[in-house]
Amino acid sequence: MTSHARIKIDNLSKRYRGSDQDSLKQVNFTINEGEKFGILGPNGAGKTTLISILCGIIPSSGGSVEYFEQGDKVDLKMFRKKTGFVPQEYAFYPELSPNQNLEYFGALYNLSKKEISKNSEKLLTLLGLSNVSDKKIHTFSGGMKRRINLAIGIIHKPTILFLDEPTVGVDVQSKNAIIEFLNELNEEGTTIVYTSHHMSEAEDFCNYIALLDHGKLIANNSLTNILKEHQSSNLKSLFIKLTGEEYRDNV
């Protein structure tokens, strides 16, 4: 079965206004249909900037991004209709319930009331939230909020899903539930683009890796090939080998 490109990135660069350094420096790679594609790197590597450009949230400073649907090139406006984005920060109304949030965001995606009701019921059940569907989200635990964040990003059944640190700050049980759910989505055909600081999680989840450091692409290949290429036993040791051990908290 032929794997079609979903996104092609060519010499992509970004420099924010007022900065004397590029946040991204001529980055090149392709994300193919059906992949679980990990964009990894230390603090300040450019991961969130890259995701934001790919989603059309911010413009690039140079280079190009091409989008594809079943092998045919499409513009960003068309592409975004089939795109889901789950940011690292919570993106919901905490004073509302899960049902109310999903109804609101589903309407933004032009879903019918019937579609919203059907999709919401299924998602809340799969994510273990059906028993709190009418409670205010501000009363929820961190793991429950992460699952609601995810549900909102996929209420319209996107064919490509962008995830920025989807399991940050949650307990082990919630993390496992989220990853299991994402694997099921991928098996059903959703292409997933994922960023995280959790190397063991990324190694278990992703089948393709792009590693950034200081805005540059320093490694890009299938997980198996990238470990073999750099003679590393696991993703964590590869990460340290290529990016060093110095602190990045002040970046």
The CA distance from 148 to 100, in Å, is 11
3-state class (DSSP) for residue 82: coil
Backbone angles phi, psi at 179, to 5 degrees: -65, -40
Q: Which residues contact 241 (CB under 8 A, 6 or more apart)?
A: 230, 232
Provide the mean pLDDT of the chain. Answer: 91
Domains detected in the chain: 35-58+80-243 (3.40.50.300)
What is residue 245's predicted lDDT score, i.e. its pLDDT? 62
The CA distance from 8 to 135, in Å, is 42
Closest residue by Cα to residue 65 from 36, 31, 23: 31
What is residue 251's predicted lDDT score, i.e. its pLDDT? 47
DSSP E strand stretches across 33-79:
36-40, 62-69, 72-74
Closest residue by Cα to residue 163 from 116, 198, 124: 198
Instruction: Return the structure tokens found at 247.
Output: 């602190």
| CA 117 to each of CA 102, 124, 221: distance values in angstroms, whole numbers, following the listed order | 9, 11, 40
Closest residue by Cα to residue 161 from 107, 217, 123, 114: 123
Amino acid at 163: L
What is residue 2's predicted lDDT score, i.e. its pLDDT? 60
pLDDT tens per residue, range 98-127: 999 999 999 999 999 999 999 999 999 989
Successive 10-residue mean pLDDT values, the chain, 251 residues: 85 94 95 95 89 93 93 90 90 96 95 96 92 96 92 94 87 85 92 89 93 93 93 90 66 47
Sheet containing 160-164: which strands, arranged edge to edge?
83-86, 160-164, 191-195, 36-40, 208-213, 216-222
What is residue 173's predicted lDDT score, i.e. its pLDDT? 83
What is residue 174's predicted lDDT score, i.e. its pLDDT? 81
